[in-house]
Amino acid sequence: MAFFKNATNVINTIETFFNKIDEGVLVFKEGVTNYLHGNQEAFNNNIANMARLEADADNLRRDIENKLYAHSLMPQVRGDILRLLEEMDTIIDTAKSNLFQFDVEVPNIPSELNQDLILLTDMCVSSVAAVIPAARSYFRTPETVKDQIHRVYFYEKEADKLADSIKRKVFRQMDGLKLSEKFHLRYFTLHIETVSDTAEKVADLLSIMAIKRTM
């Protein structure tokens, strides 16, 4: 933390920003589960909470950016930190956008896919849950970042494999569905899967940032 000794206030705000991302993906997970189980009232609450958390995250990101420039804080790594914030913000933006598509398009999802899609959502959220501690460590103990991000890659790969399995099931085993319905199910499987892709991008960025901090 000595590297950031004059930036305690802004780092505390960054921590709050990370908390919003964490809360956001948990709401995303709840929202997908509630939609699949037909819990409409709970799903509507998830939609409202997701919108609030995403707006909070955006406001915090802008506040952090303003503080970094207004007080000339962390000039050596400011560009990296701003990019990290942007990529982290993409996680909650993606989660919000994808959850909202369930509300907009109201996909008809066969119940036999529920468990697979819930597990896929869990894998994707786990990838984000793994990248957040790594992001926090960048500001405290950057030498530990590399050891933490391997979990992100594990969950992202597992999500990819499960998404492929779901799509194969839809196109090869669910003969009672129209082709248009199969395309719709593939589309929503991809919606869920992209959350882990955003976590992977953050992990890639953190890997480079941590190396630069420890050189």
Q: How many CA atoms lie within 13 A of 122 on its CB side?
A: 8
What global pTM score does this model have?
0.93
pLDDT-derived band at 4 (thresholds 50, 70, 90) equals low
Residues 168-185 have pLDDT tens digits of 999 999 999 999 999 999
Question: Domain spanning 2-214: which CATH class is it, in words?
Answer: mainly alpha
What residues contact 141, with CB distance under 8 A and at least 6 apart?
A: none
Sorted by where each begins, the domain ranges of the chain are: 2-214
